[in-house]
Copies of this chain bind each other. A is one copy, B any other.
Amino acid sequence: MPRNRPARRNDEPLADSGDSLLTFRDDEALGYCLRRAQVSVFQEFLSTFEDVSLRPVEYSILTLVHDNPGRKQIEISDVLGIKRANFVPIIDGLEARELVERRPSAEDRRANALYLTRAGLKFTLAVRKRHEALETELTLRLGGPAKRAELLELLRLLS
């Protein structure tokens, strides 16, 4: 949704002038603030990886296939909460870029086993490095690793 106004106190009266700020109770609502932070961090991800055309979901798939080579499409898509029907064109894209390979599964001839190509491995290690730098930057903004851990803990309570 957002990209929003500087925060203001909700208990301040609304001035009468034409272009005054609006009172906005929702900027203290958990759902709204979660959404705003999530969109902001995702946009930061997008601009960080713009030059290599990498979306968050593709990054997750690459790291997942890297750490779990040979898994079926359905196993990878399940972890990410992506319907198998919607997963197909995403893998199509990664395969067209020769980062990921579909190979017939040895145990189940219905299934595709997913692997990183050599180029995919190199790419994945590189973007993972950049992702770590992004996490470090965000951690700094939060006030250090303890604050980051605190945030992750609280987010987990809502998930």
The residues of A with any CB-CB pair to B shorter than 8 Å are: 1-5, 7, 14, 18, 22-26, 28-38, 40-42, 45, 56-57, 59-60, 63-64, 67-68, 71, 75-76, 79-82, 107, 131, 135, 138-139, 141-143, 147-148, 150-152, 154-159
If over half of A's interface residues share one DSSP class (helix, strand or loop), that class is named, otherwise mixed; here it is: helix
**Given A4-B79, A41-B158, A141-B158, are A67 and B150 neighbors across the interface (CB < 8 Å)?**
no
Q: Which residues of B contact A107 (CB under 8 A)?
A: 18
Residue from the set A22, A24, A38, A75 with the largest chain B CB neighbour count within 10 Å: A38
Chain B contacts for A57, CB-based, 8 A: 1
B34 touches A155 (CB 8 A): yes
- A64 CB to nearest chain B CB (Å): 6
Q: Are A32 and B60 in contact (CB under 8 A)?
A: yes
Flag if B141 contacts A33 (CB, 8 Å): no
Residues of B contacting A68 in the complex (Cβ-Cβ under 8 angstroms)? 14, 22-23
A-B contact pairs, 23 of them (CB 8 A): A1-B80, A1-B82, A2-B80, A2-B81, A2-B159, A4-B79, A4-B81, A14-B67, A22-B64, A22-B75, A24-B67, A25-B63, A26-B60, A28-B152, A29-B135, A30-B138, A30-B148, A30-B151, A33-B152, A35-B42, A38-B38, A142-B154, A151-B151
Chain B residues within 8 Å of A63, by CB: 25-26
**In whole angstroms, how far apart are the Cα atoms of A120 and B88 in the complex?**
44
